[in-house]
């Protein structure tokens, strides 16, 4: 056996990907498993985007691309940042990558040295922690509880900052809680951030369009912290393009150049055809997403109503993304047929094995009291899943 690196051994497999793999395997064995584990829109990529891809192939956009992305795509992203977010990023401040996941890895690898502290408000998206570990950073978890709608306060942020702090990373709308930071809440965080000019903050806004209650607000809108913020976004969620693999950042020229340098050694520019298709997505009026957002909103209501009927379950009201992150700690310590639920992960496995519903344990997102339900599925599927979950939870005594 080859001895693998300490770096690799210290890293966990992505829990979201592991759960979706497990449900695929169970389905292949003939089990009727409903998977609400992966955060993946169940819509098709819009035709106008597919048409742009076909045209790109016909026009022979099939060779290596500039590492940070085609100039016309970066111009389209620059226009999008201005139009949707009021942000000024010139094309040379934009780097296109193979998914927002790679964008995140590029940034962390660009700014974090061995031993640097990285503040991660919990609940956080699974990959944040592992990307920081691989980069030899030290994750500093700041817990934002359900009582504060899973959002951290400026005082919590400030208390976590030490001379070793290099980076902070968070998402709004948040995966896994659906929480959305308002403009006022972001301004209050910016008041802390500006006091520490060496602190870099990743604002992951990949769910910006899936927001049910307010207009999306970007942290980089505030001039006094603009240089410190790296805005991350991508086409996977809003445009149902998870398999196309394209994410992007807007950042200071210094960080954009650093990410380009790293990417030039790892992957080069992302897929040429995807890039041309993404121009169509960037140029489109986000109004075309109205139906999809409406569908997510009624599914959210369906799931929240179903959870309300299960004794002991607590939830916040997620304002965006397509996840609900209920607190199921009431069931910890309960058992069925002699099997005790000691952790949220036990409960997750129980629901998979006995209710045939795949969810993701809150432990993977830094809150073991919770469990993540992705409601990117049809109402019919969600109704069936919620009824199975209720039946299985009610068996626990």
- Give the residue from 60, 79, 45 showing the smallest Cα distance to 244: 45
Residue 99 binds ligand PMP (CB under 6 A)? yes
**Closest listed residue to residue 237, CA positions, set 188, 289, 159:** 289
349 forms part of the interface with ligand GLU (CB under 6 A): no
204 is a contact residue toward ligand PMP (CB under 6 A): yes
Q: What are phi and psi of 165, to 5 degrees?
A: -70, 130
Q: Which does 17 bind (CB under 5 to 8 A by kind): ligand PMP, ligand GLU, none?
A: ligand GLU
Q: Tell me the two tokens of residue 13.
A: 């497999």
Site for ligand GLU in 159-178 (CB under 6 A): 175
* 165 lies in the site for ligand PMP, by CB under 6 A: no
Residue 100 interacts with which of ligand PMP, ligand GLU, none, CB < 5 to 8 Å by class: ligand PMP
293 is a site residue for ligand GLU (CB under 6 A): no
Dihedral in degrees, nearest 10, Cα atoms 291, 292, 293, 298: 90
Piece of 5-13, 35-43, 133-141, 221-229 that binds ligand GLU (CB under 6 A):
35-43
Q: Which of 139, 247, 269, 366 binds ligand PMP (CB under 6 A)?
A: 247
38 binds, among ligand PMP, ligand GLU, none (CB under 5 to 8 A by kind): ligand GLU
- Residue 38 binds ligand GLU, judged by CB under 6 A: yes
Q: Round to whole Å and give the CA distance between 232 and 324.
A: 22
103 binds ligand GLU (CB under 6 A): no
Q: 3-state class of 38 per DSSP?
A: coil
Tokens of 383: 């109704």
* 206 near ligand PMP, judged by CB under 6 A: yes
Query: To the nearest whole angstrom, how small is the minimum distance from the Cβ of residue 128 to ligand PMP?
Result: 8
* Residue of this chain nearest to ligand GLU (CB atom): 39
Tokens 């990023």, residue located = 89
Find the DSSP H helices in the chain.
6-9, 15-28, 47-58, 71-85, 100-111, 126-134, 154-160, 183-193, 253-266, 272-283, 290-308, 344-355, 379-394
**Which residues contact ligand GLU by CB under 6 A?**
14, 16-17, 38-40, 101, 125, 127, 175
């Amino acid at each position: 056996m080859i001895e693998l690196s300490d770096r690799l051994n210290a890293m966990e497999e992505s829990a979201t990907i592991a759960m979706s793999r497990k449900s695929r395997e169970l389905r292949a064995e003939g089990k009727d498993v409903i998977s609400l584990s992966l955060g993946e829109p169940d819509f098709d990529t819009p035709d106008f985007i597919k048409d742009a891809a076909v045209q790109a192939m016909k026009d022979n956009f099939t060779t290596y691309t500039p590492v940070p992305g085609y100039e016309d795509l970066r111009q389209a992203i620059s226009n999008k940042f201005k139009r949707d977010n009021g942000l000024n990023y010139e094309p040379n401040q934009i780097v296109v990558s193979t998914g927002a996941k790679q964008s995140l890895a590029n940034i962390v690898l660009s700014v974090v040295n061995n031993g640097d502290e990285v503040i991660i408000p919990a609940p956080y998206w699974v990959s944040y922690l592992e990307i920081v570990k691989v980069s030899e950073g030290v994750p500093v978890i700041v817990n934002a509880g359900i009582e504060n709608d899973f959002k951290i306060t400026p005082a919590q942020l400030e208390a976590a900052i030490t001379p070793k702090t290099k980076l902070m990373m968070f998402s709004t709308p948040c995966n896994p809680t659906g929480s959305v930071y308002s403009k006022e809440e972001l301004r209050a965080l910016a008041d802390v951030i500006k006091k520490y000019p060496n602190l870099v903050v990743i604002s992951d806004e990949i769910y910006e369009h899936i927001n049910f209650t307010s207009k999306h607000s970007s942290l980089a809108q505030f001039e006094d912290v603009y240089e410190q913020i790296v805005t991350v976004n991508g086409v996977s969620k809003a445009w149902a393009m998870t398999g196309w693999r394209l994410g992007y950042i807007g950042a200071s020229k210094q960080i954009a150049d650093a990410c380009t340098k790293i990417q030039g050694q790892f992957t080069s520019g992302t897929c040429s055809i995807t890039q041309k298709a993404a121009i169509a997505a960037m140029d489109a009026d986000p109004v075309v997403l109205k139906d999809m957002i409406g569908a997510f909103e009624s599914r959210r209501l369906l799931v929240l109503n179903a959870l309300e009927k299960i004794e002991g379950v607590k939830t916040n009201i997620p304002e965006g993304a397509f996840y609900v992150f209920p607190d199921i700690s009431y069931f910890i310590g309960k058992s069925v047929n002699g099997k005790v639920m000691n952790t949220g992960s036990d409960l997750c496995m129980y629901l998979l094995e006995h209710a045939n519903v795949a969810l993701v344990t809150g432990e993977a997102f830094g809150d073991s009291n919770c469990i993540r339900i992705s409601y990117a599925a049809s109402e019919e599927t969600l109704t069936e899943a919620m009824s199975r979950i209720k039946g299985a939870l009610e068996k626990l005594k």
